[in-house]
A and B are shown apart, each in its own frame.
Chain A
Amino acid sequence: MAQRGWLIDLGRCIGCHSCTVACKAEQNTAPANSPLLFKGGSPQRPLHLSYRWVIVQEGGTYPGVWRTFVTSACNHCQTPACLNSCPVNAISKRAADGIVLIDQEKCIGCKYCVWACPYGAPQWNETTQKVEKCTLCVERVDKGLQPACATTCVGKALTYVPDFNPAQAGQNAPEGFSDPALTKPSARFVKK
C-alpha cells in the first residue's frame, strides 16, 4: 500500500500564504465570497474553513528577534486519531494511497474528530453542521496532478510526496508539532 504525504522544508517556508489561498481557491472552502463581519465596530474573520494554513510564531527581544513559518494541513496519518474517534465510521483511509477522507453524508457533526486530531486538521462548518478537512486534493492526485498547495508553493517549501516512507513519519518535526508516535503523520520535515 502506498502512502501519499508531505515534505516540508522549514528553511524555505516564507509565510506568503500562497498555499492557504491555493487551497481556498481550489477547494472553494466556505465562505467562497463573503465580506468580513463586524461586531461592535470591529472587523471579525467570518466563520471560515481553511484546509491549509501557515503557523507563524515569533519571539525574542529587539534586535534579537525571530519569526518562523510552518505550513500545516491534514497529515493523512497512518493511524489517524480522527478515524478512530468517529462514532459513525464517516472517516476512512483509502487502502490504495492512505488518503484520509470524511464522508459528508455519514458525518453527524459530533466534532469528536476535531478534538481528537493533534494537528487541528478537521474544520467545523457552521452552515452544514458537519466537519470537513484537507482531501489532499484527491480529485487532482487521482489524475496524476499535484495538490493545489504544493503546486503553487513559492518558496519550494512544501512538496507532495506520492510514495511517503512510513518510517519517516514526523521526521525533523519542528518544536510544537505533536508527538509523531501518536498518529504517525505522513509528513516529514527538513530542518531550518
Chain B
Amino acid sequence: MAESRKTGLCNILNPDMNRRRFLLISGTLAAGASVRNLVKPAPVSALVTGQNPPDATEVDAGVQVIMSACQNCHSRCGIMARVKDGVLLKIDGNPYHPNNFDPDERPPYSTSVDVAKKRPGRLCAKGQAGVQVVYDPYRIKQPLKRVGPRGSGQWKAITWEQAFQEIAAKLKPLRDLNTLIDPAAPELGPVANQVLYSAGRTIEGGFTDRVWGNGFGTINKREDHTSICETSHHVANELMTWDEKANRGRKNHFKPDIVEAKYIMLFGSSFLEANFPMVATARKLMDFRAKGGKYVVVDPRFSNTAALAHRWVPVKPGGDAALALGMARWMLENKKYDAKYLANANQAAAKASGEPTWTDATRLVVVDPSHADARRYLRADAIGGKKENYVAWSGGGPKEIADAALVGDMEPGEVTVAGRRCKTVFQLLKERVFSRSLAQYAADCGLSVDLIVTLAGEFAAAGKQAVTNAYRGAVQHTNGVYNQLSINILNTLTGNYDWRGGNGGGGGGYPEGSGVTPLGTVPGGVSAKGIKLNRTVKQYEKDGPNLFKRDGGYPAKRPWFPYATHGNYQEVIPSAADGYPYPIKALITYWNAWPYSTPGLRKTFEDYVKDEKKLELFVAISLNMGEVAAFADYVLPDTTYLEKWAFPGMTPTILTKATPLQQPVVGKLDGKDIGTAPFNPDAPNVYTPVLPNTKTVGDIHIGLAKTLGLPGVGEKAFQDGSPLNTYWDFYKKGLQNLSKNTGKPIGEIVAKGGVFEDPGNEYDGKYLKYKYGNVIKIYIEQLATTKDSMTGQYFDGLPQYDPPKFADNTAIATVDEKDFPFQLITYKMVWHAQARTASIPWLMIIQPENFVEINASDARRLGIRDGDAVRLVSATSPGGVVGKARATEGVRPGVIAVSHHFGHWELAAKPHVVDGVAQGADPSRGTGIQVNPIMRLDQFKGKVLNTSIQDKVGGSVSFYDSRVKLVKA
C-alpha cells in the first residue's frame, strides 16, 4: 500500500499530468476504488486540434449538464457544468440564473434544459477555472492527524471513524451547559462557550448553527469572515434601516438599479473587479454605459473599473466621508435636494407624494445635554401621544408622527417641547455638514474644491437616477461606518430608494427554510447563552456588568462591539490569546485562512495556536493544507463547492426573485456517476465525492455530531420526526420547502439549478417591483445613545468625517506619518478571489506574481525602479515584507498598493509530510507577497495591542490605514 501510494504521488507530481489523469490517480489512491472509464472524448477532427483535443460540447452524446452555483468567489453565480462519464469537462454559466444573463438574453423558466443549454450563460474566469479546484492534485485526500508539534508539517493518515471518536472524546467534557465559565461573571455563560466554531467562508451557516448552536450549545457558533470583508457597510445600512421593535436592521445591502440609472458614484466598489456579483455588475455597467450613463470611480488606485469610468477620483484613502459630505454641503447650500421627499414624516405622507420610502429628517431630537432624554428622538408620550411614536414640528407646534399623513417642518430652528430643547434631524445634519468648509473637506479627502463641486453638480442633476454605492474600499477603515453613513446621505438627499434607476434592495429569494419542514427547528435543541468571545452585539457596561465592575469601568480591557451585527473575525484569536473575556479550549475551523487574510494577525495566531496549554484542541475542516490547517491537530478534508449542496442566496444587484441551488456536479450518487442516471429525489442519494475519502462539510458535521450524540442529527432530527443522517437529508427538506413555496417540482428545480422568476418582472412602472418601502434614517439614535467601551463616551449619531484612528481615538497619521510616509492599501484582481485562487494554474498564468505598486513620481524621488526589491515596514512590523516594485501613474502619490491573493506560505506552496512521505507541492502558489501580516497593530495610549486597527462601531478590520515606509532590500 505504501508503495502504491508513493507511485501515485510521483505521478501527481508529474507536471504533464492533466486533470483526467489526476482523476485516474486519485481513484487508484483510494483503496478498493475501481478504475473508471476515462477515455477522452474523441476529437471532432484530427485536422484542427492542437496538442490536446477540445472538450466534448454540451450537445454531444453522453454529455450531461448539471446546473449549480459557483463559489470560486462570493458572487455565487449560476453555473452549468458539462460532465461526461463522471468527468467534469467545462464550467459555463447557468442560462436561467439572473447573475449570468439579463432579460435581453435570459430564457423564461419554462424553457427546457435541452433548449436553454445551447446558449450557456456568461461566466467569469474564476468560475470557469473551478475545474482546476476539483482536479487540484494537492488537495488533502484523507483525514490527517498531527504527529509532530503544531505547525511542524508532520501528519499521519487516519480513518474518519478514528477522527470523529478522538475529536468527540475531547469535545464531550466541554459540552457543559450548566457550569459557568466564571461564577463571578455569570454573563459570560457556560463552559460550552469555550468551544468556538469559525467558518471563514460559509453559505451553510443555517446548517452548521444546528450543530454548534442548537446542538453543542456554544454562543461562539459561527465566527465568520465578514469583518475582514465589508462588515461596516452592512452595519451602517442596518443602522440606517433599524427596526426598534425587532432590534435589528431591516436591510444590510442596497445596490443601484445599474441599467436604468443615469449617474453612479462608486466609492471603493469595483463593479468590474472585486465587487459582486461581478458577472452581473460588469455586464449591467457596460449596458448602462452604452445607454449614455456616466459613472465615477472613487478609489486611490486606477482600477479597471476606473479605466472605463467617466471620471477617476483618486481620493485619499479613508477620506471618502469628507468627499461625500463636501458634496452634501454643496447640495444643501444650493438647494439641490428633494425637500418634498425629506419633509414626509411617515408612510402615509410618502405614499401621497408617490414616494416608496420616507426619512427621519423631520423628527425632533432632544439636544439638551443635561436632559435624561438627551441624544434621543423625542417620543410622543411627552406630548400626550404614544411612547413608541416620534414627534415632528408641523404647523407651528409639535405633532405626533402616527398613522395619518404628516408633513413636517424641516428647519423650525431650536424648539422647546415639554421642557426639552429639540432640533429636527435635518437641522442637525445641516449643522454637522456645515461644520466644515468645502476647503476643509477638500483637504480631508485630498481632492480639489472644484472637483467636489463638479461631482455634486453632476450627481444632483441626475435626480433620483443618481446613486452612490460604497463597498469594501470605503468601509474597511477605522471610520468605516461613518464613511458609509456619509455616502448614503447623498442617496437620502435625492430620495432615490426604490425608484427605477435608483437604489434598491433587490428581488431576494423564495423561502426554502420552511413550508413543509422548518429547517431551523431542532427537537431537543438548546439555545446558547452568554457573551461571544469577540464581544459583538453586546454593550460593555450594560451586558457585562461584573466585568465592568471588576475592571474598573472604562476603558474595557479590549473593545466591545455593540453594533457589529456581522461578527468580528479579527478579534477572535487575539481575544483567545488574552483570555478576555474568557479563554477558549477548542477551536474548529472551516474554509478559514485567518493568518493569511487578516491584517496583523499572523504572529498572534501562530504564537497562540502553538501553545497546547492554552488551546487544547484544534480541528481544521479544509480542502487543502492552508495557513490555518497547517497548525491543526486534525485536518478533516471537505469537498469543493462543486461537490456539495447549499442554497447560496442572491445579491441586491438582481431585481427579480431567485433561489439558486448548489449541488454536486461530479462524484457519485448511490454509486453512479452524476449525470449518468436521471436524478431521483426519492433515492437515498448517498454522495461519494471525487476524492472518495473526503466528505462534504455537512457530512463531516453530521458524523461528528452523531458521535457526540448531539440533538439535531441522526434519528428524529427534524420536527416531523424524520432523520438527518446525510447532507442530502437536509437539502431534500429544503427542496421540499422550496417546491411547496414555488409550486415547482423538485426535479425541475434540480435540473435548472434553482427557482428563478422570469425576466420582465424587474419594475413596477417608475419604481422597482421589489421595494424596501420603509424608513431611511439620517440620525442613528442607537449610536448616539451607546458608549464606546474604550473611552466611555457616546458614539456620534450623525454622518461625519472622522480621520483613521487608533482605539484611543488618536489619529493614526499624527503618530505614524513622520516615520512611515506612505499609506498602504490592498486590492483584489478580477480573475482572483480572496485567499483561494492561487492554486489555480489557469489564473496564475495570467499574472504569475504581484507587485509593490508605487506612484511613478514617488519612485523617482526614492530612486526605485521597476523590479527593484523593496521592503515594506510598518511601526509594528519592523521586519516587514519584501516585494518587487512597480512604478505606475495609476496610484495616488503617497499611497502604496499591493494586490491580495499572492504570497501564500502554505496552500501546498511547500510540501507537508503524511506517513513519512512528502506530499506534492507547487511553489508557484507562494509567489509574490501578502502584506496583511505587516499591517499596523492597534494601540491604546501608546501601548501596542495584539489586534489590527479596526472600526469600533461596525467591527471592520482596517485594510487601508496602515502607514509604511519603503526601504530598498
Which A positions have Cβ atoms within 8 angstroms of B?
A: 9, 11-12, 14-18, 20-22, 24-38, 42-46, 48-49, 58-63, 65-69, 92, 101-105, 123, 125, 127-128, 130, 132, 135, 137-140, 142-146, 148, 151-157
9 more A-B residue pairs beyond the given contacts A101-B48, A125-B50, A148-B90, with a C-beta to C-beta distance below 8 A: A11-B308, A27-B55, A32-B19, A33-B841, A36-B927, A69-B304, A104-B48, A142-B44, A155-B282
CB proximity of A46 to chain B, nearest CB, Å: 7
**Bound Cα distance from A96 to B890, whole angstroms:** 47
CA distance A43 to B923 in the complex (A): 9
**B128 and A22 form a contact (CB under 8 A):** yes
Contact indicator B22/A154 (Cβ below 8 Å): no
Q: Which of B125, B135, B855 contacts A17 (CB 8 A)?
A: B125
Query: Once the chains bind, are A138 and B842 in contact (CB under 8 Å)?
Result: no
From B22, B48, B120, A152 is in contact (CB under 8 Å) with B120
CA distance A157 to B286 in the complex (A): 9
Beyond A18-B124, A132-B51, whether A11 also contacts B92 by CB under 8 A is no
Contact A105 B286 (CB under 8 A): no
Asked if B91 CB lies within 8 Å of chain A CBs, one says yes
Using an 8 Å CB-CB cutoff, how does the interface string of B604-615 with A read, 1 for contact, 0 for none?
A: 000000000000
Cα–Cα, bound, A146→B855 (Å) = 42
> Given B90, B92, B841, which contacts A36 in the complex, CB threshold below 8 Å?
B841
**Chain A residues closer than 8 Å to B53, beta-carbon distance:** 28
- Contact A25 B131, CB 8 Å, known A16-B831, A34-B16, A62-B890: yes
Q: What residues of chain B lie closer than 8 Å to A43, measured between beta carbons? A: 848-849, 923-924, 927
Q: Which residue of A lies closest to B129 (CB)?
A: A21
Complex A-B, nearest 4 residue pairs according to Cβ-Cβ distance, in ascending order: A132-B50, A36-B924, A28-B52, A67-B307
Distance in angstroms from B842 CB to nearest chain A CB is 5
Known: A21-B831, A32-B19, A139-B57. A155 touches B841 (CB 8 A): no
The residue of chain A having its C-beta at the shortest distance from the C-beta of B908 within the complex is A35
Query: Of residues B53, B286, B891, which shows the largest number of chain A Cβ atoms within 10 Å of its Cβ?
Result: B286
**Which residues of the other chain, A, contact B881 by a CB distance below 8 angstroms?**
none
Check B119–A146 contact: CB distance below 8 A. Answer: yes
B368 to chain A minimum Cβ distance, whole angstroms, is 47
* Chain B residues with CB below 8 A from A29, complex form: 50-52
Residue from A137, A139, A146 with most neighbouring chain B CB atoms (10 Å):
A139
Query: For the complex, is B283 an interface residue (Cβ under 8 Å from A)?
Result: yes
Closest to A150 in B: B122
| Contacts known (A25-B90, A32-B52, A36-B927); A62 close to B893, Cβ less than 8 A | yes
Most chain B CB neighbours (cut-off 10 Å) among A26, A63, A146? A63
Measured between alpha carbons, how far is A148 from B80 in the docked complex, in Å? Answer: 13
Contact residues in A for B279 (Cβ distance below 8 Å): 154
Which of B282, B289, B841, B893 interacts with A31 by CB under 8 Å? B841
Give the chain A neighbours of B125 by CB distance below 8 A. Answer: 16-18, 20-22
- B93 contacts partner chain A, Cβ-Cβ < 8 Å: yes
Cβ contacts under 8 Å, B16 to chain A: 31, 34
A63 near B312 with CB under 8 A, answer yes
Q: Give chain B's interface residues, CB within 8 Å of chain A.
A: 15-19, 22, 43-55, 57-60, 90-93, 118-120, 122-125, 128-129, 131-132, 135, 137, 272-273, 278-279, 282-283, 286-287, 289-290, 302, 304, 307-308, 312, 314, 830-831, 841-846, 848-849, 855-857, 889-893, 922-924, 927
CB distance from B556 to the nearest CB of A (A): 43
A63 to chain B, nearest CB (A): 5
29 contacts between A and B (CB under 8 A): A9-B290, A11-B308, A12-B290, A16-B273, A16-B830, A18-B124, A20-B125, A21-B129, A27-B50, A30-B52, A36-B922, A36-B924, A36-B927, A38-B923, A42-B849, A48-B845, A61-B889, A62-B856, A62-B891, A67-B304, A68-B307, A69-B304, A101-B48, A104-B50, A128-B50, A132-B51, A143-B59, A154-B123, A154-B279
Are B845 and A36 within 8 A (Cβ)?
A: yes
Flag if A44 contacts B848 (CB, 8 Å).
yes
Q: Which of A38, A60, A104 contacts B47 (CB 8 A)?
A: A104
List chain A residues, Cβ under 8 A from B893. Answer: 62
Neighbouring B residues of A67 by C-beta, 8 Å: 302, 304, 307, 890
* Complex CA distance for A43 and B842, rounded to whole angstroms: 15
Complexed CA–CA distance, A43 and B850 (Å) = 11
Known contacts A20-B846, A21-B128, A104-B47; is A34 also within 8 Å of B889 by CB? no
Identify which of A18, A45, A60 contacts B848 (C-beta below 8 A). A45
Residues of the B chain whose Cβ atoms lie less than 8 Å from the Cβ of A30: 50-52
Min CB–CB distance B840 → chain A (angstroms): 9
Inside 8 A of A17's CB, which chain B residues have their CB? 125, 830-831, 846
- A61 contact set on B, CB distance < 8 A: 889
Give the residues in chain A near B848, CB-CB below 8 Å: 36, 43-45
Residues of B within 8 A of A144 (CB): 59, 118
In whole Å, how far is A149's beta carbon from the nearest beta carbon of chain B?
11
- By the criterion CB–CB under 8 Å, are A152 and B92 in contact? yes
CB distance from A71 to the nearest CB of B (A): 12
Check A145 against B51 for contact (C-beta < 8 Å): no
Residues from chain A with Cβ under 8 Å of B312 in the complex: 63, 65
A132–B50 Cα distance when bound, in Å, is 5
